[in-house]
A = this chain, B = another copy of it.
Amino acid sequence: MPRASAADAAETARRVLETATAHFAEHGYAAASIDEIAHAAGVTRGAVYHHYDSKPRLFAAVAAAQQHQIAEAIIAATADSSDDTALRDGSHAFLDAITHGVASRILLIDGPAALGWEQWRRLDAEGPEQELRTGLREAGIAPALVDPLASALSGAMNELALWLAARPDDAAARRHAHRALDTLLDAVTPQP
């Protein structure tokens, strides 16, 4: 007994996604149950499986949405950056964006395990890491080192984000995290 027209269906899917985001963030991927997500969203598991084929797919949708938000924040922050400062501006924007939402910490932790490393890697290779690589190239890094350095810096920022997420509302910690990031970026960019 569908109460939903095509427009309402999209609303249902959106509500499920939102609820799933909260549950994955609070309980982690493994402990989050589709049954509970469905119940909290006011539908049955049938509806969830109708819109998202499987639990990994649902998680992938949640993760993609989070990445989209972060990517937009980076784009906004680097809109009026020069080529010289884009990498630095984008990196700081990334750190702020990923530590802002509640879900980010869980996404960084559960992402690889839930989706498998391959798929996870593809997901953020299309995302912020791509901009990282172009930033490194523009900074004059040797081509052979661009890939490993991008991975390394990405890992550094992710771990920095987790470190920061464990210290919420700690302004000093946030300052120190950004200074630590700057220290690492000094190694790969023409220094100001």
Residues of A within 8 A of B (CB): 28-30, 105, 109-110, 112-114, 116-117, 121, 144-145, 147-149, 151-160, 162-164, 166, 172-173, 176-177, 179-181, 183-184, 186-188
| Nearest Cβ on chain B to A130's Cβ, whole angstroms | 15
Which of B109, B155, B188 is close to A159, meaning CB atoms less than 8 Å apart? B155
Listed by A's residue number, 11 A-B pairs whose Cβ atoms lie within 8 Å are A110-B112, A117-B166, A144-B176, A145-B176, A147-B176, A148-B163, A148-B177, A152-B157, A153-B184, A156-B184, A187-B187
For this chain, the copies found in one complex come to 2
Complex: how many Å from CA A179 to CA B145? 8
Q: Is the CB of A162 within 8 A of B156?
A: no
Q: Is the CB of B187 within 8 A of A163?
A: no
User: A154 — which chain B residues lie within 8 A by C-beta?
Assistant: 159
Q: Is the CB of A109 within 8 A of B117?
A: yes
User: A116 — which chain B residues lie within 8 A by C-beta?
Assistant: 28
Which of B28, B113, B160 is close to A148, meaning CB atoms less than 8 Å apart? B160
User: Nearest 4 pairs between A and B by C-beta?
Assistant: A155-B159, A187-B187, A113-B113, A148-B180
| Nearest Cβ on chain B to A30's Cβ, whole angstroms | 6
Known: A30-B113, A113-B30, A186-B187. A151 touches B160 (CB 8 A): yes
Q: Is the CB of B184 within 8 A of A152?
A: yes
The CB with the most chain B CB atoms within 10 A, among A121, A144, A186, is that of A144
Q: Is the CB of B176 within 8 A of A183?
A: no
